[in-house]
């Protein structure tokens, strides 16, 4: 799949990174205007509160497209700002493959982040069970939940309190265990024999936004490293 496969007028969502590579904390909408070739295309400059947003040449962006029930995304760089027939356009160059992704808030980023956790309820009610905190490491993370490995089976629908250490910041969440699956024998040689998935049921908005920014900053950093290699 490349940029010539997309239809003119396809709705886009953008993440835009400024001069120092920080994600701009806004929702940006755009449209796919015209493919140039497999790697370059014109898209509409996003409009925020009725004003054309001043996206600069050289800034990097993440582009999200929807096709049917699937979401696709790729990383790109803004190469030019221009006007064609009165339309404000950006000429972008694709920097990565176009891959399938879930909605941004559900996208799972593979990462090993240390955290502490303990059960605080069995699903029918919520009460402190006076259990000690256990140490764990995430297998993946998103704004809506995470996955980790555990040594013992945990009851599905139980409530779990978590304290994650992300970039020297402590993030507190309450989650509900959505699944606890025993690993195949060939994968369970270590003490961690279960894969546990939780959905965040209580998380402050600023913490969810912080997780979003962390994920996309890390993805951008990894992409830049792959390009340098």
User: Domain of 175: which CATH number?
Assistant: 2.40.10.220
Tell me what the pLDDT averaged over the chain comes to. 84
Tell me, what CATH number does 94's domain have? 2.30.110.10
Q: 106 and 68 in contact (C-beta within 8 Å)?
A: no
- Which range among 22-26, 44-48, 154-158 shows the weakest confidence by mean pLDDT? 22-26
Tell me: do 131 and 204 sit in the same domain. Answer: yes
Distance CA 52, CA 29 (A): 11
Distance CA 181, CA 163 (A): 22
Residue 227 lies in a domain: no
Q: 159 and 119 in contact (C-beta within 8 Å)?
A: yes
Residue 12 lies in a domain: yes
Residue 229 lies in a domain: no
**Cα Dmax for the chain:** 67
Which pLDDT band, with edges at 50, 70 and 90, does 192 fall under? confident
Using one digit for the tens of pLDDT, what is the confidence trace for 94-135? 998 888 765 555 567 889 999 999 998 875 666 666 778 999
Residue 228 lies in a domain: no
Of the two residues 227 and 25, the one the predictor is more confident about is 25
Residue 223 lies in a domain: no
Tell me: do 153 and 69 sit in the same domain. Answer: no
Share of the chain above pLDDT 70, in %: 85
Contacts of 181 (CB under 8 A, 6+ apart): 194, 195
| pLDDT for 152 beyond 80 | yes
Domain limit, last residue, from 84, 101, 118 = 101
Residue 143 lies in a domain: yes
Tell me: do 90 and 20 sit in the same domain. Answer: yes
Using one digit for the tens of pLDDT, what is the confidence trace for 54-83? 999 999 998 988 776 667 889 999 999 999
Tell me: do 113 and 203 sit in the same domain. Answer: yes
Tell me: do 167 and 128 sit in the same domain. Answer: yes
Give the per-residue pLDDT at 67: 72
Give the chain's domain count. Answer: 2
Q: 6 and 35 in contact (C-beta within 8 Å)?
A: yes
Range of the domain at 196: 109-214
Share of the chain above pLDDT 90, in %: 41
Domain limit, last residue, from 82, 101, 120 = 101
């Amino acid at each position: 799949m490349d940029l010539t496969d997309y239809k003119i007028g396809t709705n886009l969502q953008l993440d835009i990174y400024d001069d120092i590579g920080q994600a701009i904390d806004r929702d940006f909408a755009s449209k796919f205007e015209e493919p140039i070739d497999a790697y370059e295309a014109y898209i509409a400059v996003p409009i925020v509160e009725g004003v054309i947003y001043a996206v600069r040449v050289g800034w990097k962006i993440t582009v999200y497209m929807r096709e049917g029930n699937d979401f696709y995304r790729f990383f790109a760089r803004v190469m030019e700002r221009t006007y064609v027939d009165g339309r404000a356009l950006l000429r972008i160059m694709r920097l990565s493959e176009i891959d399938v992704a879930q909605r941004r808030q559900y996208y799972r980023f593979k990462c090993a982040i240390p955290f502490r956790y303990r059960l605080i309820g069995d699903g029918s009610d919520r009460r402190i069970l006076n259990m000690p905190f256990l140490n764990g490491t995430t297998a993946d993370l998103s704004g809506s939940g995470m996955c980790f490995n555990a040594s013992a089976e945990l009851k599905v629908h139980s409530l779990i309190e978590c304290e994650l250490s992300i970039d020297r910041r402590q993030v507190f969440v309450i989650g509900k265990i959505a699944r606890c699956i025993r690993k195949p024998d060939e994968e369970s040689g270590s003490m961690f024999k279960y894969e546990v998935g939780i959905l965040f049921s209580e998380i402050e908005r600023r913490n969810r936004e912080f997780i979003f920014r962390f994920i996309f900053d890390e993805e951008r950093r990894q992409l830049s490293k792959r390009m340098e290699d």
